[in-house]
Structure 1
Amino acid sequence: MSDAQTHIANVLIDRIEIRGYDLVDELIGKHSYTEMVFFLLRDRFPTPAETKALDAVLVTLMEHGLTPSALIARLAAHSVPSEVQVAMTAGLVTVGNVFAGTMEDCARLLKLGVASGEPAADYCERLVRDYRERRAPVPGFGHPHHKPDDPRTPRLLDIARESGLAGRYVEFLLTLSAVVDRIYQKHLTINATGMIGALLLEMGFEPDIMRGLAVISRAGGLLAHVQEEQQTDSVRALRKAARDSIPYVAPEPKKHR
């Protein structure tokens, strides 16, 4: 007999229970979607400050224009127009360590740095020099479009401070930022996902599930792209642009023996 258990939910004939709360009488209409995400993951309801901060994270990650996830969702919507979920899923599988889901790598650095007990400046000095010697990007820094600063980052930092969540991880990230600029001898912005990684750590989320928060946030934005694609069929223009900008070049003729 299996010893496996779940503490998340139970469905009965006349009742649905979620982590000990009655869905109908205690949750629906009394708690927001953001609060429920926090509750399901942390097994407690968030404070008002945590709700504000997590909501800011979800709003930040929801939409960023015609990124690969949006383009792929539109292509799928064009190819399988009757299956909204297929298009959304296609876009969501691109959330990873290049787009949208990069906060977890930065969060791991911050968590290790804080746990080391070493002075932040010394730890960051050694860390950044190692990344530079390896010519590897420091997770959470730099952005291909937003220069000199990612405009989302200062707002997230303000929310962290307003919510009383600018604790040891946020402070470590700011120390790391100063060291990055000094060693690289130029300003590299803390990008939005870097700040999000620090903020989620302050709320007690583990790095390994942070990408999942990016997925549930980006799903909302992708649904909007799928809806717009249904209305405008804009993928036709994307396909034409691909044909026009990527010419076919015939290979060299093969030599026959």
Structure 2
Amino acid sequence: MDNDTTYLCTTDETSVTIRGKDLVTELVGHLTYTEMVFFLLRGRVPTPPETRVLDACLVILMEHGLTLNTLVARFVASAVPDQMQVAMGASLMTIGDTFMGTMEGCARILQAGVAADGDPRAYCAEVVAKHRAEKKAVPGFGHRFHKPDDPRSPRLFEIAEQAGAAGPHIAMLRILAEEVDRVAGRHLTINATGAIGAAFSDIGFKPEVMRGLAVVSRSGGLVAHIAEERESGSARLIEKLAKQNVQYRDPPAE
């Protein structure tokens, strides 16, 4: 597209037009939040199966408990209590390759495999061998807490199957999982971000927008954490525990 053109939105004195539709008469009251996210990104209203899968993914990503991401939000909210957006922004800046980045990496592997249109097992074996040679984990597998399986992944696959939206990328992920287990000599769970990368791929999202969708979802959860922090003051407790348990020592001589 031309760099002097936008297809997203325009406004005048009496109307707001978004991707060719009037906000007031065609979108408000007609599309859900999930459908509107899809519509803005893709330029069309999603089908019911696409909506169901996207909505499930956004729900899964919204809340993960007291993690480093949410603790950042709580600490900043405690330091800057009247500016919720500052605490949200600080937390969202921690989303990257360590947290939720595996979704994008897994999706790239799956989409490349589906596009290659060859033997999926041979492709997956090559992917696993390459990661093993580089001493890297295959993105989308393993979890620190959920063992032997991440309970969110099979539920997402179930929803996609019920909706008729489980396609070649979820199928490819399952083959990849078999190869990961075979080479590792033990079972490694398909984690939620791997499952979401496959589900997003099956409803047509490109890997480069997936991290943004994670940010969209996580923002809702952060509002709840920050609101709770204002009531509980848990960040102060964590600060107190750190002072009690992290001991100062003189640095060792060089």
- TM-score (structure 2 length as normaliser): 0.97
Q: Helix, strand or coil for the counterpart of 1:188?
A: coil
The residue that corresponds to 2:190 in the other structure is 190
Asked if residue 146 in structure 1 is aligned to residue 139 in structure 2, the reply is no
* Contact 1:102 1:211 survives alignment (8 Å): no
- TM-score (structure 1 length as normaliser): 0.96
* Contact 1:50 1:203 survives alignment (8 Å): yes
The residue that corresponds to 1:156 in the other structure is 156
RMSD between superposed Cα atoms in Å: 1.2
> How many residue pairs end up in the alignment?
253
Asked if residue 167 in structure 1 is aligned to residue 167 in structure 2, the reply is yes
The residue that corresponds to 2:209 in the other structure is 209
* Contact 1:101 1:214 survives alignment (8 Å): no
The residue that corresponds to 1:134 in the other structure is 134
Q: Helix, strand or coil for the counterpart of 1:13?
A: coil
**Deviations for 1:150-178, whole angstroms, at most 9, x for unmatched residues?**
01001001011111111111100000001
**Deviations for 1:86-107, whole angstroms, at most 9, x for unmatched residues?**
0111111111111134210000
The residue that corresponds to 2:25 in the other structure is 25
* Contact 1:140 1:193 survives alignment (8 Å): yes
Q: How far apart, in 2, do the equivalents of 1:16 and 1:152 lie?
A: 38
The residue that corresponds to 2:219 in the other structure is 219
Q: How far apart, in 2, do the equivalents of 1:174 and 1:153 lie?
A: 11
Letter in 2 for 1:146: H
* Displacement of 1:108: 0.3
Q: How far apart, in 2, do the equivalents of 1:156 and 1:253 lie?
A: 54
The residue that corresponds to 1:47 in the other structure is 47
Q: How far apart, in 1, do the equivalents of 2:241 and 2:108 lie?
A: 40
Q: Helix, strand or coil for the counterpart of 1:198?
A: helix
Q: Helix, strand or coil for the counterpart of 2:214?
A: helix
Q: How far apart, in 1, do the equivalents of 2:249 and 2:24 lie?
A: 62
Q: Cα gap change, 1:3/1:58 in structure 2, threshold over 3 Å: closer, same or farther? A: closer
Q: How far apart, in 2, do the equivalents of 1:175 and 1:165 lie?
A: 18
Q: Cα gap change, 1:126/1:6 in structure 2, threshold over 3 Å: closer, same or farther? A: same
Of 58-67 and 236-245, more deviation after overlay is shown by: 236-245
* Displacement of 1:211: 0.1
Q: How far apart, in 1, do the equivalents of 2:126 and 2:84 lie?
A: 48
* Displacement of 1:245: 2.4
Q: Cα gap change, 1:137/1:3 in structure 2, threshold over 3 Å: closer, same or farther? A: closer
Q: How far apart, in 2, do the equivalents of 1:251 and 1:139 lie?
A: 38
| Aligned 1:1-257 pairs, distance under 5 A | 4-252=4-252
* Contact 1:150 1:189 survives alignment (8 Å): yes
Letter in 1 for 2:46: P
Q: How far apart, in 1, do the equivalents of 2:207 and 2:190 lie?
A: 18
Please list every run of 5 or more consecutive structure 1 residues that lacks an aligned counterpart in the other structure.
none
Q: Cα gap change, 1:175/1:14 in structure 2, threshold over 3 Å: closer, same or farther? A: same
Letter in 2 for 1:87: A
